[in-house]
Amino acid sequence: MPVPKGCEPEARSFFGAILELEEIEKPERLRSRAGCWFKLGLNQLRVGVEDAFRSARKAYLAFAVTEINALFSRLVEAGVRCVWDDALDEIRRFGVH
């Protein structure tokens, strides 16, 4: 996931503190590079810095969760702007901005 230079503290706050993902060490050969990595089940979420970062308006991450209402509330309480999305009848989902 590309992010702008210097935003690792915000990434750690959002993914680590708010979403409660465990931050993991990057492999030795990549530790000198900016960014941070998180454990996501059996996978990894890699937050990588791009010098010429440009926010993508149509690209996003999607997570499957078991307690969507609780997560929505936790994010809102943390000051994160969240909006329910009813575009798909069969999937309850919301966007985070």
| Residue ranges covered by each domain of the chain | 1-53, 62-97
Q: State the pLDDT at residue 47.
A: 92
| CA dist., res. 22 & res. 90, Å (int) | 30
CB-CB contact of 21 with 38 (8 Å):
yes
Q: CA 3, 55, 38: angle at the middle one, nearest 5? A: 30
Beta-carbon contacts of residue 58 (< 8 Å; ≥ 6 apart): none
C-alpha–C-alpha distance, residues 44 and 24, integer Å:
9
Q: What number does CATH give the domain 1-53?
A: 3.10.180.10
| The pLDDT value given to residue 97 | 84
Q: What is the pLDDT along the chain (97 residues), one digit of tens a residue?
A: 888 899 999 999 999 999 999 999 999 999 999 999 999 989 999 999 988 888 877 778 888 999 999 999 999 999 999 999 999 999 999 999 8
pLDDT score of 34 = 92
Calculate ∠ Cα 81-85-90, nearest 5°: 145
Can you give the pLDDT at residue 71?
A: 96
